[in-house]
């Protein structure tokens, strides 16, 4: 179809030639068709318009008009209109052919315009698709009932799902089970009420980790106001969500944990105040006074330690934790740490077995490593079911290991990674704590280019092993 109309330089002579041929045909047909002198011209003008274009067709019509007039109208071989019937015939002839040319011209123009529109539409569709595909966010489409029909590349890269697995509702297997119900309710309401929706949900990454997304959906309506399909976007806002959650947990945990020693301290002080007011003689008793001071100091120390932990977390999260790396002695660190927890162990009558065969020199921050060991020993006491605890120091070729083992309830495999995160505790833990000790410990050991390993089985106790390089690279 695109071959026509022909270029003007071919079209014009061809159009005239075709008219000439039709005139010849007309001459031969004359004995049969008599007065119908334009019969052969109509199809030729039609063909000319189609093949040669509007302008050559008009020229050929003009040529045909004069030729027909010259040969067939009035006295032969003269130009002019002589009778009324000739005027009418000529007018009809011209009118019909102009109509033929005009309608074909309009048809061609409309076709060209719609072709251009199609190209434009395809072009913008292509641009739009490229934008959608290149988006770092997940973009999806679904039919009016909410069944998935399209996902961009980001979706496939993130979830690792195949095209088939992403169709309809099967994609929901990457949705966190805890978010399923809320999503269904929100989306079904949006579908019913034909309005946009927004929801926070967790989607499983191809490596199995869930991340938080802020998902938004919007109905696309047709001219009748009916939903044609849904378009949606899901933006990964995991870090922001975590920061908000951490802040919330931080406030609730710290206020709760700080309140406990403070309330106890307040009570003791109130009792003391009353005794003084009542002029109770025991207030004068030095032994009683010493006991009182000792027990209040325990509360103050707990309070102090909690604030220290909070400060450490804030230093770590803001990247402001500073270290004093200098020559350090591992055996000494362990002896000091054991010394620091010995009172607590003695109070709870728990045996602590220490195996530190010889001194091991290494490069590190003595105070910070002591803090880690004390936390491990305190945890072994807190969660060790009052059974004996052991601490062992050993040297490998280029590293040293400190192993703290208890025989408590142990830690389920599912929790073993989590408890090293900030504010993570095992549900039902009776002992108090912020859930930050192991988090701080891991950060400190990693800053020393070492690692903390955990080996534990439910019901069989836990062994935490700190591995430290002798020299930092
Ligand atoms: P905290 O003890 O203050 O809660 P930690 O970060 O030191 O904080 O420990 C995190 C959680 O890990 C604890 O709440 C506890 O549930 C668990 N945990 C730590 N050490 C042990 C252990 N030796 N045995 C069993 N569970 C432990």
Closest C-alpha to 49, from 70, 21, 19: 19
Closest C-alpha to 409, from 385, 380, 389: 385
256: CA distance to ligand 1 center in Å?
17
Q: Which pLDDT tens digit goes with each residue over 255-297? A: 878 888 889 899 989 988 988 888 877 777 888 888 889 889 9
Residue 355's alpha-carbon distances to 4, 120, 401, 404, in angstroms, are 98, 80, 12, 10
* Rounded mean pLDDT, 156-168: 92
54 lines ligand 1 (CB under 6 A): no
pLDDT band at 2 (very low <50, low <70, confident <90, very high): low
Residue 471 has a pLDDT of 93
Contact 469, 364 (CB under 8 A): no
What is the rounded CA–CA span in Å between residue 473 and residue 467?
15
334 lines ligand 1 (CB under 6 A): no
35, pLDDT greater than 80: no
pLDDT band at 72 (very low <50, low <70, confident <90, very high): confident
Residue 1 has a pLDDT of 47
Q: Kindly state the percentage of the chain with pLDDT values over 90.
A: 57
435, pLDDT greater than 60: yes
Higher pLDDT, 255 or 37: 255
438 lines ligand 1 (CB under 6 A): yes
429: CA distance to ligand 1 center in Å?
8
Residue 328 has a pLDDT of 97
359: CA distance to ligand 1 center in Å?
29
- Average of per-residue pLDDT values in the chain: 90
What is the rounded CA–CA span in Å between residue 331 and residue 370?
11
380 lines ligand 1 (CB under 6 A): yes
304, pLDDT greater than 50: yes
435: CA distance to ligand 1 center in Å?
7
Residue minimizing CA distance to atom 13 of ligand 1: 425
461 lines ligand 1 (CB under 6 A): no
What is the rounded CA–CA span in Å between residue 118 and residue 113?
8
Q: Which pLDDT tens digit goes with each residue over 244-264? A: 877 777 787 778 788 888 898
426 lines ligand 1 (CB under 6 A): yes
383 lines ligand 1 (CB under 6 A): yes
pLDDT band at 40 (very low <50, low <70, confident <90, very high): confident
345: CA distance to ligand 1 center in Å?
17
Q: Which pLDDT tens digit goes with each residue over 11-21? A: 999 999 999 99
């Amino acid at each position: 179809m695109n071959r026509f109309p022909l270029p003007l330089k071919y079209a014009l002579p061809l159009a005239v030639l075709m008219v000439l041929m039709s005139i010849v045909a007309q001459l031969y047909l004359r004995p049969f068709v008599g007065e119908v002198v334009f019969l052969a011209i109509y199809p030729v003008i039609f063909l000319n318009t189609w093949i040669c274009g509007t302008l050559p067709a008009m020229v050929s019509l003009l040529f045909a008009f004069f030729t027909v007039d010259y040969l067939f109208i009035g006295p032969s071989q003269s130009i002019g209109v002589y009778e009324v019937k000739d005027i009418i015939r000529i007018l009809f002839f011209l009118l019909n052919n102009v109509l033929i040319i005009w309608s074909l011209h309009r048809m061609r123009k409309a076709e060209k315009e719609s072709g251009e529109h199609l190209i434009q539409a395809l072009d913008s569709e292509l641009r739009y698709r490229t934008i959608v595909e290149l988006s770092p966010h997940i973009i999806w489409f679904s039919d009016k009932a909410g069944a998935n029909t399209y996902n961009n590349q980001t979706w496939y890269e993130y979830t690792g799902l195949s095209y088939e697995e992403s169709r309809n509702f099967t994609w929901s297997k990457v949705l966190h089970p805890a978010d399923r119900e809320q999503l269904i309710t929100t989306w079904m309401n949006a579908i019913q009420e034909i309005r946009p929706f927004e929801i926070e949900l967790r989607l499983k990454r191809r490596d199995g980790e869930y991340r938080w997304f802020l998902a938004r959906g919007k109905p696309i309506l047709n001219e009748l106001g009916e939903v044609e399909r849904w378009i949606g976007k899901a933006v990964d806002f995991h870090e922001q969500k975590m920061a908000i959650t951490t802040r919330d947990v931080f406030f609730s945990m710290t206020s709760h944990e700080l309140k406990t020693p403070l309330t106890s301290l307040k009570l003791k002080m109130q009792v003391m105040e009353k005794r003084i007011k009542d002029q109770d003689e025991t207030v004068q008793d030095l032994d009683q006074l010493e006991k009182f001071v000792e027990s209040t100091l325990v509360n103050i120390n707990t309070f102090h330690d909690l604030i220290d932990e909070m400060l450490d977390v804030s230093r770590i999260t803001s990247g402001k934790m500073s270290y004093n790396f200098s020559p350090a002695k591992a055996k000494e660190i362990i002896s000091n740490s054991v010394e620091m927890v010995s009172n607590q162990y003695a109070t709870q009558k728990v045996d602590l077995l220490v195996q530190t065969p010889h001194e091991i020199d290494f490069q590190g921050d003595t105070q910070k490593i002591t803090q880690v060991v004390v936390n491990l020993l305190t945890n072994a006491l807190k969660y060790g079911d009052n059974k004996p605890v052991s601490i062992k120091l050993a040297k490998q070729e280029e590293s040293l290991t400190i192993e703290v083992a208890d025989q408590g309830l142990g830690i389920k495999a599912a929790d073993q990674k989590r408890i090293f995160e900030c504010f993570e505790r095992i549900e039902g833990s009776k002992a108090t704590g912020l859930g930050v000790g192991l988090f701080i410990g891991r950060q400190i050991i990693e800053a020393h280019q070492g690692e903390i390993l955990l080996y534990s089985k439910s019901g069989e106790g836990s062994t935490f092993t700190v591995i430290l390089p002798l020299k930092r690279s």
